[in-house]
Structure 1
Amino acid sequence: MTLETKPAIIECPVEVLGELDRPAHMGRLLRGLIHNINGPLQNISMLLELMERHHAKIEGHLQTEAAAAAQDALRPLCDAQKGRIQRILEQVRVFSEMLKDFMVLQEIETNESEVDVNLILEKLSRAYKADLFFKHHVTLTLRLAPKVPLLRLRGRHLVPALEHLVENAVLSMRASKEKTLVLSSEVTADHVIVEVKDTGCGLPKDRFPEELFLPFVTAWPDEVRSADKASQHVGLGLTLAQKLLEPYGAAIVLKPEEGGGTAARVFLPLSGTFFP
C-alpha cells in the first residue's frame, strides 16, 4: 500500500474546511434518507388502495346479503383490513423515526448546550441506516456506558468529528468479507472515551497512524477505492475531526485491531469547556 499526498494549499479555518467537506457524505445520507422515505410512502399508497377496494366489497355485502351470510363473508375482509392498517401505522412510525433522528442531530449541532455523547452515538447509528451500503451490509453493535455525564462541548464540533470517524469506518469495510461496526462509550476518572471500531481494511503497515491526520493524506487501498468510486478520498476527514476537537483538549488515537480492522478512540476530557 502506498501513501498518497497532495500539495498543501493556503490554510483555511477548520470550520470552513469542514463546511466544504461535510456535504459529500451528508449528501449521500440525505439521498439514502429520501430513498428510504420513498419506500414506506409507496407502501402506504398501495395499502390504502387495497383498503379502498375492500371497503367497496364490504359495502356490497352489507347491501345485498343477509346478516348471517354477510358475517362469514365480511370476517376475512375485516381481518385483512385490520392487518393493513397495522402495517400502515408501522410504515408511518418508520418514516417518523427516520426524520426524528436527523432532526435530533441537527438540534444538537445548532444548540449551545451540553451534549449527551450516548444520544449522539445512538442517533448517528440510526441516521447511517439511510446509507444503503450500511443498511444492507453492515452489522452494528452499540455498547453504551450507563450514566455518561453531559459534556460542555459544542455539538457543531463533536457531531461532525464523530461523523468523520464513522464515515471512515464504513468506508474501510467496503471490500471486507466481514462488515461489523461497534460504537461504544466508556467513562474513566478524567475522560469520556468514544470508540469507533470496524472490521475493515485496517491501517497501512508502512506508516505511523499519526501521519493519517495530516491534511490531504490518504492511504486507502485499491480495493476500497474500487468498491467506492463515488467518494473523492481527499484526505480531510481525520484532519477535520482532530482540529474540531483539539480546542477542548480531546485526542483521537488510531489502533489496529487483531485480525484486521481499526479502532478509533476519542478521549473527551470531563473538564472540557466552551471556547469562543
Structure 2
Amino acid sequence: MNRPSRADERDFFCQRFQDLLTGRFVKGIVHNMNGPMQILSMQIELFKRDAGQELAAIEALAESEDPAGAIRALVDRAKGRMAKLAQMEESLRRLEDMINVIGKRSQDMEDGVRPSLLNQILQDELLFWQGDLFFKHQVEKEVVLGPDVPAVVAEERAIRNLVDALLACCAELLREAQERKLHLESACDGGCTHLTVRHTGPPFPAGDEAEAEDGDEPPSIPSMAIRLARRWAELAGATLEITPREIRCTFPPAEG
C-alpha cells in the first residue's frame, strides 16, 4: 500500500480542520438561527389572528352604518400586516444567509479556479464565525471593505479556508488578551488585492514555532492555524507577510 504524499497529508489535515470548525460552531449556529425562527413563528400566529379579525370586519362591513370608517380600519390593519411581513422577510433572509454559508462548506476539496469576490467571502466568513459565541460577543470587530476591490482569481474554497485559518488564529490569541479588538480590511493597490488582519492579542507565532512539526509537545492552535493559512494561501496563489500583530495577504492581479 502506497504511503500518502506529504501534500496529500496536508490536504487531509486541512479538510479535517474545516470539518472540526464547522462541527464546533454547530451550537452557536443553531443559537443564531433560533432568533429568526422565533420571529417567524410569532408573526405567523399574528397573521392568523389578524386574518380572522379582518374576515369578521369584512363581514360586518356590509351591515355597517359607517362603511368609510370600517374601510379605514381595514386599511390600518393591512398596513400593520405589511410591517409584520417585512419582519418575516428579514428573518427569512437571515436564515437563508446562514444556510448558504454552511452549504458552501459542503463543496468538494477542489471547486475550480474562478473569479471570487473577496468582500463577499469576508462577509460570509464573519457570518459563519458568529457561531463562535466568544467571537460574536467578546471580540470587537472593525471591518473595512474597499469599494473597488476586484475579483480574485483562485479557488474560492482556498480563499474561504485561508480566512478561516486567520480568524481561528486571531480568536485564539484574543482569548488571552484584555483588549479584544480585531481589524479586517480589504483593499486594492497596484493591481494586487490585499487582505489585512490585525488584532490586539499576543503576537502571532514566530516562523520557527509555526513551522515546527516534530517534538513531544503538540503545536498550539495559533501555530496550527498559521501553518494552515500558509497552505491555503499557497493554493490560492497568494503571499503572506506576517508581523507580530498583523498579517497582510496579497493576491496577484488577474492575468489578461
2:185 is the alignment partner of 1:217: no
What SS is found at the alignment partner of 1:13? Answer: helix
| Structure 2 gaps, min length 5 | none
TM-score between both structures, scaled by the size of structure 2: 0.75
Q: Is the 8 A contact 1:115 1:153 kept in 2?
A: yes
Q: Is the 8 A contact 1:250 1:266 kept in 2?
A: yes
2:247 is the alignment partner of 1:245: no
1:1-276 equivalences under 5 Å are: 13-64=9-60, 66=64, 68=66, 70-71=70-71, 74=74, 77-103=77-103, 110-189=111-190, 191-199=192-200, 201-203=201-203, 208-215=206-213, 216-218=218-220, 233=221, 235-246=223-234, 250-256=238-244, 262-270=245-253
| Structure 1 gaps, min length 5 | 1-9, 219-232, 257-261
- Mark the CA change 1:180 to 1:149 in structure 2 (over 3 Å): closer, same or farther: same
Q: CA-atom RMSD, angstroms? A: 3.4
How far off is 1:48 after superposition? Answer: 0.8
What SS is found at the alignment partner of 2:113? Answer: coil
| Equivalence for 1:224 | none
Q: Is the 8 A contact 1:192 1:269 kept in 2?
A: yes
Identity of aligned residues (%): 22
Q: Which moved more, 1:63-72 or 1:169-178?
A: 63-72
TM-score between both structures, scaled by the size of structure 1: 0.70
Q: Is the 8 A contact 1:251 1:266 kept in 2?
A: yes
Give the length in aligned residue pairs.
Answer: 241
What SS is found at the alignment partner of 1:32? Answer: helix
- Mark the CA change 1:254 to 1:36 in structure 2 (over 3 Å): closer, same or farther: same
CA distances 1:87-116 after superposition (whole Å, capped 9, x unpaired): 112211222233334456767962332333
Write the distance in 2 (CA, Å) between the matches of 1:67 and 1:124: 60
Q: RCO greater where, 1 or 2, for CA within 8 Å and sep 6 or more? A: 1
- Mark the CA change 1:21 to 1:55 in structure 2 (over 3 Å): closer, same or farther: same
How far off is 1:117 after superposition? Answer: 2.8
Write the distance in 1 (CA, Å) between the matches of 2:125 and 2:39: 26
Write the distance in 1 (CA, Å) between the matches of 2:248 and 2:17: 22
- Mark the CA change 1:246 to 1:86 in structure 2 (over 3 Å): closer, same or farther: closer
